[in-house]
Structure 1
Amino acid sequence: MTDQTSYTSERLTLRHGGRDRIFTVVTPDIIGDRPDVLFYFHGSLQNGNVARNFTGRTFDDMAARTGTILVYPDGVERHFNDTRRGLRERTRDLDIDDVGFTHAIVDQLRDRRDIGDIHACGYSNGGQMVLRLLHDAPGLLAGAATFAATMPAADNLIDGLGEPVPTPYLAIHGTGDHIVNYDGGVAGLDPAHTRGVLVSAFESAEYFADVNGLDDADHTRRAEDALTVDTWSRDGHPPVELWSITGMGHVVPTPKDLPPSIGPGTDAIVAADVVAGFFGWE
């Protein structure tokens, strides 16, 4: 770990699936011999640069502080082809292979330098992309985190979704999220832009606990003020954590003021710091 926060960023283009795909790489000025890599997948109607500003550059600063290479892929027409049957966007109509795109970025990074483990986090549609990677690229990720995203209900899963393997998994979700409801149900900004039914944040965490070989006997809970942390943990099994923020809306927890249309923010935690702690970077 380093105690500085300087880095460089590059907007890069990679030819994949017959089209030019864009991604941003943030590289710390001070870096180890085999740095870990963190992918950040943006939400609907965003891109990598918007995501950087949306999170107040907190992930950039965290990456620089911990010596982690940070990658922001851009979705096609500002969306990723995620896990949900109810995703009604051009990326689905075009059958965009975002799993293959992720693999291609990893291959390009490995061509440039020796890298360590691959991790991924994502917000909303980007969180759903992380869930797809866990299923359709099992073993690629050494750790995964989602913000404001839960597993689709069984009848809302895309056809042919693969089987996940045990992987450390962190979820952060606001109880006041009116777009991806904390308690489950139909997701979407409004009735004209729905994404089908999703399970609750707790059920989603339980799903990954089961994948990781964990059960009710491995579950503990701690609560303080606006924060509740549910943990599933046992020696020899990857952990699962659900961080629930009372009253928080459809946001990634950062110090930045965000649009009121997506609900209240929070000063209880900073998501980038929680991610770094969960992945063991600080």
Structure 2
Amino acid sequence: MCFRFFSSLLLLGVSIASTHAQVLTDSIRVEGNYRVFHYNKPTKPLANPALVFVMHGSGGDGLGMMRAATKMDQQAGDENTLVVYPDGYKRYWNECRKASPAQANKEDVNEQAFFTGMVTYFQQRYQIDPKAVFAVGTSGGGHMAYKLALTMPGTFRAVTAIIANLPGDDNLDCVPSGKPVAIMIINGTDDPVNPYKGGPVILGQNMNMGVVRSTEQTLAYWANLARYQGQPTHDNVPDRDPADGKTIERFTYRAKGKPDVVLLKVNGGKHDYPNDIDVHLEALTFFQQQRKRQ
């Protein structure tokens, strides 16, 4: 595992709400590739902050995710949290789907080294809390979140995967650690891309990403790792936007000494975000809860 910090910083001025934030873009050289990431320069001092990575979907980029997670980033500063938006390799991640035709998968780029390098980078510059490192991703980024949980449980305290299910056994090319991790899953029941009940994932006309498990099987995988038994507790999330045709149910496994395992089931949800919650704020709250349980 080899990575080197690239010395130059690109500074981009952007306006967020009523405050002015400075977007910093930097890169780390990982096994011959410069891997890029973005973050907002903290507007006030941080003391041993938490670190949250936000991963874009297939074909996206970190700056696009920064725009999608504006509310989370605004709140993060008040919660002593630094948020980082990495770019995938040529807009894709080398996640755990064996069938993925993305160059990141074909070249088997070293994502673990990339994320390890970024954690080291932010430890050196902002003295982040190494016991409070988290990740949230959407779609392909959700698959990357699963990979981090499967292969780097010693680094990531919790992850959130949005509109993504674990790959099926025959489509899994990661070697799971077998260790439990706190996880929250947010999936829509009517998702035509990431089928709630499992099956093939097709991006566009010619990008077959292989078969994924059902959402219930994905939830059960993480619950079993944490040795939960029986049924999760259940409650309904307030329906703040009845006009969107979606409702959300929360299923929670929680016990003393075990990581939380949570599913937000978005009834009527497609390959998108529900209006009843801000999914990134929800992820931030989940991460804060896990940090308090240290």
Same fold (TM over 0.5): yes
Aligned mate of 1:90, from 99, 103, 106: 103
Deviation digits for residues 142-187 of structure 1 (CA, Å, limit 9, x no counterpart): 11111011111111101x5131422211111111211001111111
1:216 shift after superposition:
1.7
Deviation digits for residues 27-47 of structure 1 (CA, Å, limit 9, x no counterpart): 431343100000011110101
In the alignment, is residue 180 of structure 1 matched against residue 188 of structure 2? no
Stretches of structure 1 that go unaligned for 5 or more consecutive residues are: 254-265
**1:139-154 alignment, distance < 5 Å:** 139-154=154-169
Deviation digits for residues 228-250 of structure 1 (CA, Å, limit 9, x no counterpart): 11111111111111001122211
**Structure 2 residue aligned with 1:38:** 52
In the alignment, is residue 68 of structure 1 matched against residue 81 of structure 2? yes
Say which SS state the counterpart of residue 130 (structure 1) adopts: helix
Deviation digits for residues 121-144 of structure 1 (CA, Å, limit 9, x no counterpart): 111111111111112222110111
Would you say the 8 A contact 2:72–2:284 is kept in 1?
no
Distance in 2 (alpha carbons) for counterparts of 1:77 and 1:25: 19
Would you say the 8 A contact 2:149–2:158 is kept in 1?
no
**TM superposition score normalised by structure 1:** 0.87
Would you say the 8 A contact 2:46–2:126 is kept in 1?
no
Query: What is the percent sequence identity of the aligned residues?
Result: 26
**1:8-27 alignment, distance < 5 Å:** 8-27=22-41
1:92 shift after superposition:
1.4
**1:87-236 alignment, distance < 5 Å:** 87-116=100-129, 117-158=132-173, 161-190=175-204, 192-217=206-231, 219-224=232-237, 225=239, 226-236=247-257
Deviation digits for residues 81-119 of structure 1 (CA, Å, limit 9, x no counterpart): 001111111111211111110001111111113111110
Distance in 2 (alpha carbons) for counterparts of 1:6 and 1:34: 23
Deviation digits for residues 21-64 of structure 1 (CA, Å, limit 9, x no counterpart): 110022431343100000011110101011222x2523322323
- Which has the bigger relative contact order, CA under 8 A and spacing at least 6? 1
Change (3 A) 1:26 1:57: same
Distance in 2 (alpha carbons) for counterparts of 1:163 and 1:280: 24
Change (3 A) 1:74 1:91: same
Q: Which amino acid aligns with 1:235?
A: K
Runs of at least 4 residues off by over 4 Å: 4-7
Q: Which amino acid aligns with 2:113?
A: G
Stretches of structure 2 that go unaligned for 5 or more consecutive residues are: 1-17, 240-246
**TM superposition score normalised by structure 2:** 0.84
Aligned mate of 2:265, from 239, 244, 267: 244
Q: Which amino acid aligns with 1:232?
A: Y
